């Protein structure tokens, strides 16, 4: 399986990092080895001084597909979840400055927290109307609404499947809203989707 990630998919997050709003989705990958079960703590790697949390709506692909149209995209998922795209921001800034790929900053072990999944049917809401939050201990640090995405989930599936076959079990991280920030040992990050707790991760 692969983890497909979208960068700069919320205008307020692009602005906070001083990035332009893209004309087409910014796509990158994380390997399967990046997955951190949400039952385990996250250990800040020794080679970075600035790991940021990015809470994101995660869509689980449930069938094989290629060159999927936006209209047919809803057939390719039925469950959504919440995850964290941990990013070594200091390393990413160096790589961006050199025009290099981001993998060192984005694809490291533990950098993809994957929480629980829930069916859209159980949520009783369309995918364009989902609220999610990230708390550090009791304080809310990020709040997102899927309707604010620059590129909708269906549009993302259409775009990505033009050049990459989607397979059952692939995960699509759909980008983070504003509020990203550094994590520190002792933090406890808790994500909710439509009021349901989807993950809780202790930072060490």
Q: Closest CB to Zn ion among 16 and 72?
A: 16
Q: Closest CB to Zn ion among 161 and 176?
A: 176
Q: Closest CB to Zn ion among 48 and 176?
A: 176
Smallest distance, Å, CB 7 to Zn ion? Answer: 6
Binding Zn ion by CB under 5 A: which of 3, 34, 54, 193? 54
Segment contacting Zn ion by CB under 5 A, of 52-60, 93-101, 117-125, 188-196? 52-60
Binding Zn ion by CB under 5 A: which of 36, 80, 85, 130? 85
Task: Restricting to residues 141-200, name those near Zn ion by CB under 5 A.
Answer: 176
Segment contacting Zn ion by CB under 5 A, of 9-17, 29-37, 80-88, 144-152? 80-88
Residue 86: how many CB atoms within 10 A of its CB? 28
CA-to-CA distance for 23 and 192, rounded, in angstroms? 30
Interstrand relation of 112-119 and 35-37 (parallel, antiparallel or unpaired): parallel
Any alpha helices (H) in the chain, and if so which ranges?
11-16, 89-98, 103-106, 120-123, 153-160
Q: Closest CB to Zn ion among 10 and 71?
A: 10
Sole residue written with tokens 């449930």? 62
CA-to-CA distance for 19 and 10, rounded, in angstroms? 11
CA-to-CA distance for 163 and 30, rounded, in angstroms? 17
Binding site for Zn ion (CB under 5 A): 54, 85, 176
């Amino acid at each position: 399986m692969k983890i497909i990630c979208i960068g700069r998919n919320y205008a307020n997050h692009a602005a906070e990092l001083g990035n332009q709003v893209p004309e087409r989705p910014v796509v990158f990958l994380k390997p399967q080895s990046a997955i951190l079960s949400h039952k385990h703590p996250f250990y800040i790697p020794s080679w970075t001084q600035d790991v940021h949390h990015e809470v994101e709506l995660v869509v689980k692909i449930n069938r094989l597909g290629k060159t999927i149209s936006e209209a047919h995209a809803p057939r390719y998922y039925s469950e959504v979840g919440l995850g964290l795209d941990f990013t070594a921001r200091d390393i990413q800034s160096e790589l961006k400055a050199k025009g290099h790929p981001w993998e060192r900053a984005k694809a490291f072990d533990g950098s993809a927290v994957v929480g629980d999944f829930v069916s859209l049917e159980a949520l009783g809401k369309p995918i364009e109307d989902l609220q999610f939050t990230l708390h550090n201990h009791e304080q809310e640090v990020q709040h997102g609404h899927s309707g604010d995405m620059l590129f909708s989930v269906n549009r993302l599936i259409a775009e990505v499947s033009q050049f990459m076959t989607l397979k059952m079990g692939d995960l699509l991280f759909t980008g983070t809203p504003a509020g990203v920030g550094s994590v520190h040992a002792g933090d406890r990050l808790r994500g909710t989707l439509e009021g349901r707790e989807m993950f809780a991760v202790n930072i060490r």
